Amino acid sequence: MSAHADTHHGPPIANKSSRMDATVLGMFLFIASEAMLFGAFFTAYFFVRVVNPDAQEWPLPPFHLPVFVAGVNTIVLVTSSFTMHWALQSIKRGNRTGLKAGLVLTLLMGLAFLLTQMLEYARIGFNPSDGAFGTIFFGLTGLHGAHVFIGLCLLSVATIRAFRGHFTPEHHHGVEIPGIYWHFVDVMWIVVYATIYLL
């Protein structure tokens, strides 16, 4: 055999190929922290329900939730995901008008959702200090509302950039990332709405 002892064959000494990518790890940690945050609130919510096993209706009187208004708000939010998807598909095809229209519509529907939620808070007839249910209701929906607000900030930046002509069919990361975030805010709302208002 030939002697090649102790000769290094070039990269990779510090091999990164199957290491967890830093951005992926960051995203997993972010999602894990979000899951724990919402999980803590849902645990408290289900605890409140479990300690009332004989309740004939939920929520217990005198609490009453505006299911219909929240349902319309849910449709608005899910529709905003559709316009977000349309915006991204538009820029992928080079349609700048579609991108701008999609982002503006998403932004407006997100704002409408948040304003409707504020009005709902003002007219709902109870407040966070009215027992455990009130606290959990405002905590969960408020936490989600905070996420919507962050999403709106991200969308605002993307919209301003879109109107300044920043995105192209090849480079649209600045729309893609807020889009992913926006869809997950919507997913969380579906979970919150189904759990608190419907089930």
Partner 1 sequence: MARNPFRSEAEAYRFLLLTVGYFALIVAAAAIATWLGVVVFVALTAAAAWLWLRSRSDEPVQRTEVSRLSGEDERRILVIANETVGGDELLAILRRKAEGVQTHLLVVCPALNSQLRTWASDEDGARAAAQERLDASLAQLRRDDIEAEGEVGDGDPLQAMEDALRTFGADEIVISTHPEGRSNWLERNVVGVARERFTVPITHVVVDLEANAP
Q: Interface residues with partner 1 (CB under 8 A)?
A: 1-13, 15, 17-20, 22, 25, 27-28, 31, 78, 81, 84-85, 88, 175-176, 179-180, 183-184, 186-187, 190-191, 194, 198-199
Give the shortest CB-122-to-partner 1 separation in angstroms: 27
From first CA to last CA, the distance across the chain in angstroms is 73
Residue closer to partner 1, measured from CB, 92 or 96:
92
Q: Which is nearer to partner 1, 13 or 122 (CB)?
A: 13
CB of 10 to partner 1, least distance (A): 5
Looking from the CA of 128 toward its CB, the CA atoms found within 13 Å total: 7
Q: How far is the CB of 49 from partner 1 (least distance, A)?
A: 12
| Nearer of residues 86 and 121 to partner 1, judged by Cβ | 86
**Residue 116 beta carbon to partner 1: minimum distance, rounded to whole angstroms:** 19
Dist CA 39 CA 126 (whole Å): 24
Query: Among residues 128 and 171, whose Cβ is nearest to partner 1?
Result: 171
DSSP per residue, the chain: ----TT---SS-SS--TTSPPHHHHHHHHHHHHHHHHHHHHHHHHHHHHHT-TT-SSSSPTT----HHHHHHHHHHHHHHHHHHHHHHHHHHTT-HHHHHHHHHHHHHHHHHHHHHHHHHHHHSS--TTSHHHHHHHHHHHHHHHHHHHHHHHHHHHHHHHHHTT---SS--HHHHHHHHHHHHHHHHHHHHIIIIII-
Question: Least CB distance from residue 130 to partner 1, whole Å?
Answer: 26
Beta carbon nearer to partner 1, 51 or 199 = 199
> In the complex, what is the shortest distance from the CB of residue 198 to partner 1, in angstroms, rounded to a whole number?
5
Q: Which is nearer to partner 1, 21 or 119 (CB)?
A: 21
